[in-house]
Chains A and B, each alone.
Chain A
């Protein structure tokens, strides 16, 4: 059996090529977040930022936006950290406080609109545009994230892919705030929850399989 190992060692050493060590997870997360910001800037140049007009002073909107952005940052770092062998899987708990902030901020906004004297009427066009915005932002960010994660060796591909999905969902929700036409209503919250769950689930399913192949 030693001969079998020796043959494999010789074969691997024979086809060795120089590789550049991957940057640290913080740098890779910063790179991905920079790409997300570039995407947001591109959207701002094309779409009207009607979301901040007249409701920029509402606390729960900023709470929700900060929670979503922090979730994106922490989940992205956790995804890149868990993609490296030897890093603790407990990094997956890092986005939990930010996720709680995001959920509570969204819930507060929904409650505020529930008790408002004249809640705005939801039109189908607004919901569809909101849904399509989240999906259109999530797809390129997911593809970029999976492509970057595949360069590493995620030994827990499903966990890493789920964290990637959470980061993508948080970034998409944070980018949506300046373009959202009205305050968060119950239907908005439901749409957001469905899209976020879908993004995380699809990333965990498809991304997990892609990453498991990358891990050999």
Chain B
């Protein structure tokens, strides 16, 4: 089995690059899987696309079937119509155990901008479900992603990584929002979009005492459902400008592929308002507010995902011990997973090799016992045990080598050599 990941995330690439490569909707992803299947039919795929990362996992039975990173970069380029040069330097690749470890770290949120965040688990799960829906995954990626979710559960149970501020919303509101506003219970909160990120943000804001929540979404049913859950009110998309002028806090999390609010639109909205400070939290990737919105007037405080990076670094530095514990669990689980893969790939061959050698030894011993009929039963048993030990000792070095080689992935070359040398076909 071969596992590979090609990715860019908040540590390797700016939001301006990530938003170009992001898959902003399920439809986008399903179309991407169609293209991938067509280009690389022997592979399985899962794409994890969030505001902080775009990662394409592939798995194949044979390493020779794996697409190269250049081929995958070309896929990104063609699909998003972005020249390869615009992102190639930001794209990283991991294979084998490194790729497995990377996914486990992502699922445990060790690799997240906000350490210990819970949202990544549902994002990984959702990515896997969409891949299933698009017939993109298979037995290898199934095993990999199921294990990743288990590892994530284990890290959350055995470490204190998920204590304190563990969502992007909590970090953003806690650091920036609290530096602008003293309290939130007298503020009007406008949420644009009704996805999971919006829900997460509202949950945190509600804990901060927010009472007036307005949800605006293109799909009014979803806006209504979200507003109902948090005791807010849903407003039609056509009323967006009106609410832009009245809100104190704006949280935008849509899956739009282009900014929905530019400077001209926002300036017009501000002229109708009271000119009070407004805190805009743009959690969309691609961004929902164009960056020049912050220049509309000095009362506008616009923050996007990348602006939270420094705050999150502080959060990370405060949890060094927990990160070490989490990494140790990830390491252990990666080894176990690779070991399981090894067993899965080498198990039948090792079994056949053992059986073949023991069959040969049994046949030869039967010939021997027929030639020496005077041997007692005890003598025969002693000889049986000796021969078995000899066979095991002879098998030990090649099997040990096989096990060592399998730590970094399935040793296809070695397995092929063993099968040919001992005629195991």
- Is B a genuine binding partner of A? no
Question: Residues of A at under 8 Å CB distance from B?
Answer: none
